Every structure is written in structure tokens, then in C-alpha cells.
Structure 1
Amino acid sequence: MTDRKPVGMPFESWIDRQIREAEERGEFEDLPGRGKPLPGEGRPLDEMWWIKQKVESEGLSMPLPPTLALRKDADEALAQARGARSETEARKIVEEINERIRKAIRTGLPGPPLNLMPFDVEQIVSEWRQARR
């Protein structure tokens, strides 16, 4: 346990002395990461760094709010439609995601604003055809 700060000694001097004495005793020699750069050094400060680090170190995952999950699903559906094997498959993928988007617009979903409208099926299918030429 550390000593108590002597009366009249400034905190900084007392702390500096304790750190110096601990270094001299070799108490910092076997710390993990010793001699390595600090993680994230040189990057902008993220106020939530410690939460993200804890979630990652514990192997936790946080579900997205429904509106953000639908946006992510919509992006993935577009990619799937563009890579579909047939025009029918591309059309089906876009129609399915459009139905989910319409339902979300009608009923509303918790989370940030959806900011998503149904996709133009004919435009996506046309792009699919042009990519195959």
C-alpha cells in the first residue's frame, strides 16, 4: 500500500516521488504492452473508446436499432440483387426489401429516422442487365 502524503508536500511532488521509487524497484518491468506504442496514438480522440474496448474485449455485441438494421439489410439486398444469377432473382430480392421498407414506413420503427424509400425495381433490374452485357 502507498504511503500517505506528508503534510505540506504538494501532491505532484509526492506522486512523482512514488512513481520514481517504483521504477527504481522495477515494479513496471513486467507490465503488458511495455515498450509498445499506446493503442490509438495519433488518432482523433473518441470519447467512447473505453466502451468500445470493453465490448470488444468481452466479445459482446450490441444489436442495432431496428431502423439501422433495416438500412444495413437494404444495402446488403442491393448488393445481392446486383450479383444475382438471374433477372428474376434480382427482381425478387429488391421486391422483398421494398416490402420491408414500406412496412417500416407505415408502422414506424424505433431508433433514428429511417431515411429510406423503396427502391425502383425496374432501375435495379436495368442496371443488372447492363452489367451482364
Structure 2
Amino acid sequence: MTERKPPGLPFESWVDRQIREAAERGAFADLPGAGKPLSGEGAPYDEMWWVKEKMRREGVSCLPPSLVLRKEADEEYAAALRARTEEEVRRRVAALNDRLRRAVLDGVTGPTVSLAQYDVDDVVREWRAGG
């Protein structure tokens, strides 16, 4: 805990002295991220940057379930197009279609999004064409 600023001492002088003394004690040595550039350097200022950074680190999403499902479906579709074998493409698309079918039957909450199942043969044709 820091001491209180003595009366009559200018605020900047008090802060500068505390920083200098801490540096002399080695309080700033070996801090995580030392020598690394600041993240977001050059990006426009965002008041909620720390909230977004915390959510990213924690893997938290504030999207409604329907939009999360749509995003995950798009990612899985793209992964199927990058698959190494036709069998893997078919397996991925079948699993994705099963997940979409369950979501429609269970009733996913959030804004309405297109959750139509993929035609496995169409995806295979696109995969063969190079995605």
C-alpha cells in the first residue's frame, strides 16, 4: 500500500518520487510483457478495450446462441473445405448437419438466422473444385 501524499508537496513530484524509488528497488524488473509492443497500438481508442480484451482472454462471447451457432457453422463449413480427404469432408458436413438439425428441433434462442443443412454432395463437389 502506498503512503498518502504529504501536504504541501506537489502531486507530480510525489508520484515521480514513488516511481523512481520503486524502480530503484527493482519493482519493475521482469514484468510480464517487458520489451513487447503494446497491443492495439495505432488502433482507434475504444473505451471498452479492457472489457473486450478480458472477454477474448477468457473465451467469453456475448453473442446470442443463434448467432454463435451460425458463426460455428460457417467455421466448420470452411474447415470441411480445407479437409485432406473426401471422407473427412463427408464426416464434418454430416456432423454439422446433425448439430443444425438438433438446434432447430430444440429451438435456438436469438435472432432468426438461416440454419439450413448443407448438401453433402454439393460440399464435396466444391471441395474437389478447390473450395
TM-score where L is the length of structure 2 = 0.54
CA contact (8 A) 1:5 1:14 kept: yes
TM-score where L is the length of structure 1 = 0.54
- Structure 1: distance between partners of 2:79 and 2:95: 14
Q: Deviations over 1:42-72 (max 9, x none)?
A: 253633335555x4xxxxx669975425742
2:126 corresponding residue in structure 1 = 127
CA contact (8 A) 2:22 2:28 kept: no
Count of residue correspondences: 121
Q: Aligned to 1:47, what secondary structure does the other structure show?
A: helix
Q: Unaligned 5+ residue runs, structure 2? A: none
- Shift in Å at residue 85 of structure 1? 3.3
Which residue of the other structure, out of 50, 58, 80, is the alignment partner of 1:47?
A: 50
For 2:80, the aligned partner's letter is Q
Root mean square deviation of aligned Cα: 4.1
- Structure 1: distance between partners of 2:20 and 2:90: 70
Higher-Rg structure is 1
- Structure 2: distance between partners of 1:52 and 1:75: 18
1:58 corresponding residue in structure 2 = none
Q: Unaligned 5+ residue runs, structure 1? A: 56-60
- Structure 1: distance between partners of 2:128 and 2:22: 71
1:27 corresponding residue in structure 2 = 25
CA contact (8 A) 1:5 1:11 kept: yes
For 1:32, the aligned partner's letter is D
- Percent identity between matched residues is 34
